[in-house]
Every structure is written in structure tokens, then in C-alpha cells.
Chain A
Amino acid sequence: MQTTSDDVLIGRIASGDRLAMQVLFARHHVKVYRFVLRLVRNESAAEDLISDVFFDVWRQAGKFEGRSAVSTWLLSIARFKALSALRRRGEVELDDETASAIEDQSDDPEVVLAKKDKGAVLRQCLSGLSAEHREIIDLVYYHEKSVAEVASIVGIPEATVKTRMFYARKKLSELLKERGIDRGWP
């Protein structure tokens, strides 16, 4: 049987259908949680935030105009709430220059072992990017958002989306180089 589309679910939620809300939540909550968690880096805060995100959906479903995919709308709300939470905690780090450094764990045997695994080091470096860079890389790679969708979620022009992604990848290569992995690019 064909799955009910997100747009149809939003229409039902707008009519007060709680079952449709459960279906939408089940369908999207894990990805929204992971997106928020990568921004706020706190599991408890991320759980609170996704509850807030979907409660907004419950209340605002009638205003959804279907101009973007529902998942894009969810991520836009999630991003706004995550950044608001970070601001309240005074932890906003949206500037290229404030890219968080990877902790120096050179004496940690696990890190020594991890160095043998390029994938593990790459994942560590992805985690070490600034929030701005983590965000765009996740939106493009994990959440499979197009240039236009990322522009809509982040609120920047499409050309900026492309160059920001490029800089994020460039920074990733630099972090890898610092960890002893030279990819020969850029």
C-alpha cells in the first residue's frame, strides 16, 4: 500500500488528527534529532528541542503552504530552535574563524589506533568542524538537501550555499592534514 505523503499528513494534523501527528513524528524525529544534536551537542537538550519542533508543527500545520518539502520545513524549525537555544547558552559559533579545534588526544591509545582507520579520523574531523560547517555538510550529505533547500533552511543565497560547502570541505581537508592525512586537496 502506498505510504501517505507528508503533505497529506500535515493536512490531517491541521485538522487536529493526532494519529497523523504520530505518523509524522515516527517518520522524521530521528533525523531531526540528529540534526539538532549535531548543533547543540547535548542529548537531553536535543530531545527537548525536537519535542518543541513537533509541537510547533502541531500548532502551525494549518499555515504550511507546501512550498517546500515537509522535511525541509522541519529542519528549518529545528535549526531556528537549536540556534535560539545556543544563543541562550551563549554558545553560538557560526563564524568560520571560530571553528572548534579538535581536542589534542595524541596520547590516547584509542586515537593512535584510530589513525590507522582513515574513516574514523575523517569522522572525528567532521565533528571538529565549526557549527556552520557541520550544519551545511550534514544538510547536503546526510539530509540530502538540494542547493535550494539548504538555502531555504539556512536563509542564505544559493551561491553562498555552494561556496560555504566548498569552504567546509576545504577546512575538513585542513583538519585531516593536521591529523596526518594529506588528501592532496585543496
Chain B
Amino acid sequence: MNAVNETPVSDIELLLPWHAAGTLSNRDSQRVETALANDPELARQFELVREELSEDIHLNETLGAPSARAMESLFARIEAEPARMPAVSFNLGARVRDFFASLSPRTLAWSASAAAIAILLQAGLIAGIMIKESGVSSVSGGDYQTASVPSAFAGDGSFALIRFQPQANAADIAKFLEANNLSLTGGPITGALFRVQVAATKLPTTDLANIVKKLQSDKMIVGFVAATQ
């Protein structure tokens, strides 16, 4: 194949590096695939591109990583910065608008359905908690209770007290609870703590400690967690 200053280079030929890297749109990728199937010389050149791709990755991967000095320097500078107020300039509204604008009607329809299901599930969860609460109330004589604080932490199983990170949103917390098979059984109580059931049965202390340790490892979601009765 000739160079661009000798004979015109086809657009397909120019796209080969991106095709090899897998960063073309489906349409362009299909165009390249078709051309490769019909042009042995282009296919040969594509093999050269793949060779370059492989060696460039190899080259970069052997460059090593920065020392801890970079991170230490960065966080020392961040620590020296004054505490920041919640970002007023972070344009969440624009972000949400852009996100929905980027969706196709079909995707949007599926997203709406998924959102509706999520809302129904949340409603079910809240209703379940309230029914459980009202059950406790009737036993204790129907005294007034707040909507959020359970009257008692009675029940079988193994439990933990947990405080979520302030920045963790409802969706993140829901995913965390689901991923760890946790059920919210009470809270918030003093210190923004919630009580969660980690197992339906009474676990040995060491098993419960291991679960708590695992929960603690998710520092994006969990601010504090400890086993409780």
C-alpha cells in the first residue's frame, strides 16, 4: 500500500488502528470487516497494525508505575486545602439531562420500566417495614412510634450496626445491601446507625466477625460497622 503523499489512502485503511484497538463504531467496524474480507493486501496491513498494537502495549506495560511519592505529594496538597463546601457548581441537572438525551427511545423505555420496578420494590420494602412495625405496636399496645426508629430489635439471626458514608446514595446502599444479603431491620438510631441482619441464624462469633470485616472493606459505602446482638 502506498503512502498518503503518493496515492490517496482509503478511509478504511486509515481506520485500521482503531479497528484493531476495538474503538470503532459498529458501523465503521462492519465496513472495515467487509473490506478486510475482500482485500488481501488490506488484511496483510491489518496484521502489521495488530503487531504494532501488541508491541505498544508491551512497551507501555514495561514502563513501570510511579512511586508512592506522587500520591503522598498529591494528598499532602489536598490536605492543605481548606475544607470544601458541597459543590454548588456540580451541575447534576445538566448531567441527568445529558444522560437521558443520550439514550435511544427504546433504551429510555427500558430504563423507565426498570425505574418503575425499582420504585415498586422500594415501596414494598417500606411497606414491609411498616407492617412489621405496626405488628410490634399492636403487641405493645399501639403506642406512638416514629417512622424510622423501631421499638425493639427483637428477632433471631445475626446482626450488625452500620453507618453509611455520607456521600453514599440510596442506589449505592441498595446495591451494597443486596450484594451482601443484608436486610435493614432498624434505625436510624443515635449516630446515624442502622441495624442490619447479616444472617437468618445465630452465627458463631468468629463467622460474624469475618462478615463484619468484609463489610468494612467497602469504604465507599460503609463508614462504620460492628457486630451487635
Which residues of A come within 8 Å of B, CB atoms? Answer: 1-2, 4, 7, 11-12, 14-23, 25, 29-30, 33-34, 37-38, 43, 46-48, 50-51, 54-55, 58-59, 61-63, 65-67, 119, 122-123, 126-127, 137-138, 140-142, 144-147, 149, 162-163, 165-167, 169-170, 172-173, 183-186
Contacts and interface: CB of A to CB of B under 8 A. Distances in A.
Interface string B28-46: 0000000000000000110
30 contacts: A2-B175, A16-B83, A16-B85, A21-B75, A21-B78, A22-B75, A43-B64, A47-B66, A47-B69, A47-B70, A47-B73, A50-B66, A50-B70, A55-B74, A62-B90, A65-B91, A65-B94, A65-B95, A67-B98, A123-B56, A141-B52, A142-B56, A142-B57, A144-B22, A144-B23, A146-B24, A147-B18, A169-B17, A172-B52, A185-B1
B167 A12 contact: yes
Interface in B66-100: 66-67, 69-71, 73-75, 77-78, 81, 83-92, 94-95, 98
B52 A186 contact: no
Contacts of A141: 17, 20-21, 52-53, 56-57
Interface of B: 1-4, 6, 9, 11, 13-15, 17-18, 20-24, 44-45, 48-49, 51-60, 63-67, 69-71, 73-75, 77-78, 81, 83-92, 94-95, 98, 165, 167, 172, 175-176, 179, 218-220
Contacts of B78: 18, 21, 55, 58
Majority secondary structure of chain A interface residues (helix, strand, loop or mixed): helix
A122 B51 contact: yes
A25 B95 CA distance: 22
Contacts of A38: 60, 63
Given A137-B52, A144-B22, 9 more contacts: A4-B172, A23-B220, A48-B73, A55-B74, A61-B87, A63-B89, A126-B59, A140-B17, A140-B23
Contacts of B91: 65
A29 B167 contact: no
Contacts of B172: 4
Contacts of B179: 1
Contacts of A19: 165, 219-220
A101 B54 CA distance: 23
A15 B83 CA distance: 10
A22 B75 CA distance: 9
In this complex, which of B22, B58, B71, B90 has the most chain A Cβ atoms within 10 angstroms of its Cβ? B90
A138 B70 contact: no
Max chain B C-beta neighbours (<10 A), residue from A25, A59, A146, A173: A146
A169 B84 CA distance: 47
